[in-house]
Homo-oligomer: A and B are copies of this chain.
Amino acid sequence: MHNETTTDRIPVAILGATGAVGQRLVSLLFNHPWFEPMALCASERSAGKPYGQATRWILADPMPEAAAAMTVRSSAPFAEPKIVFSALEADIAFEIEEDWARNGHLVVSNARSHRMREDVPLVIPELNADHLALVRRQPYPNGGAIVTNPNCSTIGLVLALAPLERAFGLKAVNVVTMQAASGAGYPGVPFMDLIDNVVPFIPGEEEKLETEPLKILGSLTSDGTRVEKATFGVSAACHRVAVSDGHMEAVSVSFEKPADKAAIMRAWIDFEADTEGLNLPSAPAKPVLYSDAPDRPQPRFDRNAGHGMSATIGRLRPCSILGWKFELLSHNTVRGAAGGTILLAELCVAKGLVNGAVAPARSVVKEIQSIIEPQLEMA
């Protein structure tokens, strides 16, 4: 445990703190070397109660004692938090997040509500950190801004695609997902729907997978005011399978330029993340890993790779239709939700988007790994 005094850390609030993603944020942020949670916000029904009472805790690691004792607040903005993490449901996120931004806060959101707005960056820190420039176009005063984390199944896919896009240019991407139940939150999918079964439909999911990658892999115009979307085609078919955590995706791709297996592997292995050199505590050593085993990646064995922050790729092989195909896995509630959102907030700090907050020196970076790891045991 670190010994920094509280005042060294950046005060943050968590919206939707009692939900599934909110709990994961609580769990990670109460042990975070940079951030100091000072408010846990939830619906009016929970407001006023101690967090420990208001929450049906569903993680394996115990609720942080400091969190349990905090009184839950409503979601209305107040002055202190410099960063507001949003794990709100999409239906209410739109307005509440704007409220905070209008009050001068940086909102880092896992909700889909603002993702596709032209002036809102949709960011995977390793891939398109430059898109953060879009916040300058946002209408909020006093440094208020909204930045967004992509959908859980999008993040894994785009982590694998970005090196290929840079190296060979993408023409078409076909992706068939086999997604974990935790992606639906809690209580989420009924046991009776998924035992001995596959459900070939997740509302809204195929649409997100077919649009978000084009924005993330789009190019910031030279004046930094707009993202020119990428133009390759994406076709997605989404399935829910009997898995707790870890989204599998069967991906096939066609390229603009010729590619062979060695070159593709090299693209993944040599990929230089935008986050390199920034010493962000939640950044994995490698955003994508490649497994040589004939039958990997697999959710139960690979989801925790890179402390749950790395996507694992395997089985790269020719595809007689599109050219190449491979299998992909990433942890949907760590990289795909809470962990990804925190990494994005770290990036915002490093890029100077948080009023008066400075990224800590390198010395604390390593510490985060011993914090994240135990939490993954049951992730």
Interface positions of A (Cβ within 8 A of B): 58, 60, 172-174, 176, 178, 181-182, 186-201, 210, 233-235, 237, 239, 241-244, 248, 250, 252, 294-301, 304, 314-315, 319-322, 325, 327, 370, 373-374, 376-378
- Contact among B200, B250, B304, B315 for A296, CB-based, below 8 A: B200
Q: How far is the CB of A323 from chain B (nearest CB, A)?
A: 10
- Contact among B172, B181, B190, B250 for A176, CB-based, below 8 A: B250
State how many copies of this chain the complex holds: 4
State whether B190 touches A241 (Cβ < 8 A): no
State whether B244 touches A242 (Cβ < 8 A): no
Q: Tell me the dominant secondary structure on chain A's binding face.
A: mixed
Cα distance A290–B184 in the bound complex, in angstroms? 27
Residue in chain B with minimal CB distance to A374 = B373
State whether A192 touches B198 (Cβ < 8 A): no
Cα distance A190–B252 in the bound complex, in angstroms? 29
Cα distance A243–B194 in the bound complex, in angstroms? 9
Q: How far is the CB of A181 from chain B (nearest CB, A)?
A: 4
State whether B188 touches A325 (Cβ < 8 A): no
Q: Which residues of B contact A243 (CB under 8 A)?
A: 195-198, 242
Q: Using A197-B300, A242-B241, A373-B373 as known contacts, say yes or no to A234 and B176 having CB atoms under 8 A apart.
A: no
Cα distance A125–B295 in the bound complex, in angstroms? 34
Residue in chain B with minimal CB distance to A233 = B320
Q: Using A198-B298, A244-B195, A248-B200 as known contacts, say yes or no to A210 and B178 having CB atoms under 8 A apart.
A: no
Residue in chain B with minimal CB distance to A210 = B320
Cα distance A198–B181 in the bound complex, in angstroms? 13
Q: Which residues of B contact A178 (CB under 8 A)?
A: 178, 198, 239, 241
Q: How far is the CB of A42 from chain B (nearest CB, A)?
A: 19
Q: Which residues of B contact A322 (CB under 8 A)?
A: 174, 235, 321
State whether A252 touches B239 (Cβ < 8 A): no
Q: Using A176-B250, A181-B195, A376-B377 as known contacts, say yes or no to A189 and B190 having CB atoms under 8 A apart.
A: yes
Q: Using A239-B178, A242-B241, A374-B373 as known contacts, say yes or no to A192 and B197 having CB atoms under 8 A apart.
A: no
Residue in chain B with minimal CB distance to A20 = B192
Q: What are 8 residue pairs bridging A and B, where the CB atoms are less than 8 Å apart in the complex?
A: A178-B241, A186-B192, A189-B190, A198-B243, A200-B315, A235-B321, A237-B250, A321-B322
Residue in chain B with minimal CB distance to A176 = B176
- Contact among B190, B244, B295 for A201, CB-based, below 8 A: B295
Q: How far is the CB of A267 from chain B (nearest CB, A)?
A: 20
Q: How far is the CB of A89 from chain B (nearest CB, A)?
A: 17
Cα distance A200–B241 in the bound complex, in angstroms? 13
Residue in chain B with minimal CB distance to A296 = B200
State whether B298 touches A197 (Cβ < 8 A): yes
Q: Using A181-B191, A200-B298 as known contacts, say yes or no to A250 and B239 having CB atoms under 8 A apart.
A: yes
Nearest 10 Cβ contacts at the A-B interface: A187-B190, A201-B295, A176-B176, A197-B300, A200-B327, A242-B242, A237-B250, A235-B321, A181-B191, A189-B191
Q: Which residues of B contact A370 (CB under 8 A)?
A: 370
Additional pairs, 14, CB under 8 Å, beyond known A172-B321, A186-B190? A176-B250, A178-B241, A187-B190, A188-B192, A189-B192, A191-B195, A196-B196, A210-B320, A234-B320, A234-B321, A235-B320, A237-B250, A239-B248, A373-B373
Q: Which residues of B contact A327 (CB under 8 A)?
A: 200, 237
